[in-house]
Structure 1
């Protein structure tokens, strides 16, 4: 449910300034109408107020990638091997997988992973081979992850 600033004030007695400050701090992200007006998700407001319990997010991400649709079976096997490893370690995990070239710089799965790392939602990233993460620039990505305290685990290589 989306709420106007006025409705948030009525329901929760939160001022417009507080909402905008929360937005600046990155605690809340409003949905914008076509005219640019802010609308807030009821769940987001209640989560900030401690009214909703937040589900614990998996801190381990298993990342799998293949280059072409023809390799889809290999992708499934790659995910299975990563899951076997994570289960053996006793970890809760999330799988991010994609079919995209390792030299493509606009990969949704990789961008999702990097954004999770920036938000502090990841402790470990597990990949099967270095080239599953990127054909070029693997060391840069590893450095990025380590600078956010994320451990990169490469199973083979």
Structure 2
């Protein structure tokens, strides 16, 4: 019997270590400990249990995750996050889903370590969701969207974008915040987070980004009338 070392080949098999821990605690899987106290699991058993979870999911039906993100806690306090979630719901026929879960993040779309995004990716790997709905591409990530789309599709998860781009007036504002967060990170490393030079650089960059956003609005203005 082929045994899989704990953590080894798990990524290849699409299994999260927490899933193995859950199976171990429930007594669902055989565990062999080496003299160095490392755990080994039968690869055939891992595949069998994964198959059972997939069958269970198919019996339960479609499991939808609605994902929304805002860039700052101030936006969340103003109710922007709740409005984004409701906007997604209004675009979907929720009756066709057997399970609906809301997952959200507060943070930059440039941050690839967001808790909510990581949770969705784990669920996709563990075959516990079937669909993910977002409002715009940049709500999931500012860059590398197609990599994430390919990742979800490779795990049998359908990724849905429910709205057309840039119908929302706050998108430019959020893009400015995302770009400013990049400058803040790099200038903090260069000058130190409490340095006066760091603060001056941030203010100048924010002013320049605001000028670009205002110019964009002026250019769009005449065309709209």
Per the TM superposition, whether the score is higher than 0.5 is: yes
SS in 2 for 1:122: coil
Superimposed CA distance per residue, residues 32-91 of structure 1 (whole angstroms, 9 cap, x where no aligned partner): xxxxxxxx64xx237x8xxxxx89586111111111111111111011122334454432
| Cα displacement (A) at 1:98 | 1.1
Q: Is the 8 A contact 1:60 1:126 kept in 2?
A: yes
For 1:67 and 1:123, locate their aligned partners in 2 and report how far apart those are by CA, in whole Å: 27
For 1:1-157, what aligned pairs fall within 5 Å after superposition? Answer: 29-30=20-21, 41=25, 44-45=26-27, 59-72=63-76, 73-86=79-92, 88-91=94-97, 92-157=99-164
Q: Distance in 1 between matches of 2:124 and 2:152?
A: 7
Unaligned runs of 5+ in 1: 1-19, 32-39, 49-53
Bigger CA radius of gyration: 2
Distance across 1 between alignment mates of 2:110 and 2:117: 12
C-alpha contact (below 8 Å) 1:145/1:151 kept by paired residues? yes
Question: What is the rounded CA distance, in whole Å, between the counterparts of 2:67 and 2:119 in structure 1?
Answer: 11
Structure with the higher strand share, 1 or 2: 1
Separation in 2, partners of 1:142, 1:99 = 21
TM-score by length of 1: 0.65
Higher relative contact order (CA 8 A, sep 6+): 1
Cα distance change on mapping 1:99 and 1:90 into 2, 3 Å: same
Q: Is the 8 A contact 1:86 1:93 kept in 2?
A: no
2:143 counterpart SS class: coil
* 3-state SS of paired residue (2:27): helix
Across the aligned residues of Structure 1 and Structure 2, the Cα RMSD in angstroms comes to: 3.3
Q: List alignment gaps of at least 5 residues for structure 2.
A: 29-48, 50-55, 165-225
